Amino acid sequence: MRVLGIETSCDETGVAIYDTDRGLLSDTLYSQIAMHAEFGGVVPELASRDHTRKLLPLIQEVLDRAGLSRQDLDGIAYTAGPGLVGALMVGASTAHGMARALGIPVLGVHHMEGHLLAPMLEDEPPEFPFVALLVSGGHTQLVEVHGLGQYHLLGESVDDAAGEAFDKTAKMLDLAYPGGPEVARLAEQGDPLRFRFPRPMTDRPGLDFSFSGLKTHTLTTLNALRDSDQLDAQGRADIARAFEEAVVDTLVIKCRRALDQTGLKRLVVAGGVSANARLRERLGNEVAKRGARAYYPRGRFCTDNGAMIAYVGAQRLLAGEHDSEAMQAVPRWPLDRLTPPAA
């Protein structure tokens, strides 16, 4: 089954074709980062307009790369949520229009289910069951996964997600958007011993996260240096290092607890923050101590992409799921409300 995947949940237009027999045939991604950078964050109306402008040419591009025509497609999957409602509507309306014209099934896919299963696109995918850390700009969640649609939420952020905290810290440090990679680059120059920031919610049991207080502590430290005329380039780097170390430590501690609590030996890490090199190094060491293994998507599939949507859509379409005539656009959609495909 050849499935076209469309991702338009935020500021990246991703398109891919996945074949259930041959794997990923082609994929492409257009990022709006340059457009939104001057505003320091995503402008929803501009995002929607740019998706409208780029989506159809990108669909043709992946078809040409795969040597296929639209008539060769067996189904279409699109991101139905969560995300920016206007951006979601662009992908949903395009997918439904194409599917109706071609007479093939169409299905709205959960964006975070795409991230969760993105490592399945790798040469050595994880087997079920596993613990998943979903860590991005909008989500920080630990999930126990026993199969497609079989998700038990273990813990999540009660305020800012880790990626959101990275972006806000980048703004404090006058770094470019998107902030996560910029903070990580600056942290490489920082002294790890100068500051020690709190590891939020690690001094109590449980698997929930909170990064709002860490963000406030970062701002307080930054202002203290500024008020004492000590805020130079090295000071900014030292703050970036302390912040990154605190986030990484917190995520590692919670993942360790989740593995111990579930008794599982496989950890999937996905979402934009999963590309952070320090996080990968620390988690790799931690799971190895437990005789476990960590799995990640390749770099370009850590952030939003069409391949993960095509993959999840293909699995669910193959099982007989599809939309009714009504398209879906769900800005808020808890992952644990998903269910397995009907037998």
Q: Is the peptide bond before 129 cis (omega within 30 degrees of 0)?
A: yes
- Residue 343 is predicted with a pLDDT of 57
Q: What is the mean pLDDT of residues 194-207?
A: 96
pLDDT tens profile 312-330? 999 999 999 999 999 999 9
Strand duo 75-81 + 2-7: pairing: parallel
What superfamily does domain 2-117+301-337 belong to in CATH?
ATPase, nucleotide binding domain (3.30.420.40)
Residue with tokens 């992946």: 62
Q: Is the pLDDT of residue 170 over 60?
A: yes
Report the percent of the chain where pLDDT is more than 90. Answer: 95
Joined tokens for residue 251: 């995520």
Residue 285 counted as an annotated binding residue? no
Residue 180 counted as an annotated binding residue? yes
CA distances from 77 to 105, 157, 212, 302, 328 (A): 9, 28, 35, 19, 11
Residue 81 counted as an annotated binding residue? no
Query: Mean pLDDT score of the chain, rounded to an integer?
Result: 96
The one-letter amino acid code at 279 reads L
Domain boundaries, the chain: 2-117+301-337, 128-296
Nearest to 302 by CA among 2, 12, 3: 12
Residue 304 counted as an annotated binding residue? yes
- Write down the architecture of domain 128-296 according to CATH: 2-Layer Sandwich (3.30)
Residue 272 counted as an annotated binding residue? no
Classify burial at 154, counting beta carbons within 10 Å of its beta carbon; exposed 0-12, middle 13-18, buried 19 or more. Answer: buried
Q: Is the pLDDT of residue 37 over 90?
A: no
Residue 136 counted as an annotated binding residue? yes
Joined tokens for residue 295: 């799995």
**pTM for the predicted model, two decimal places:** 0.95
Residue 324 counted as an annotated binding residue? no
Secondary-structure percent of the chain, ordered helix, strand, coil, rounded to 5? 45, 20, 35
pLDDT tens profile 82-107? 999 999 999 999 999 999 999 999 99
Same fold, 2-117+301-337 and 128-296: yes
- Residue 100 is predicted with a pLDDT of 97
How far is residue 312's CA from residue 254's CA, in Å, rounded to a whole number? 27
- The strand ranges marked E within the chain are 2-7, 12-19, 23-31, 75-81, 106-110, 130-135, 140-147, 150-156, 266-270, 293-295
Residue 64 counted as an annotated binding residue? no
Residue 157 counted as an annotated binding residue? no
Q: Is the pLDDT of residue 173 over 60?
A: yes
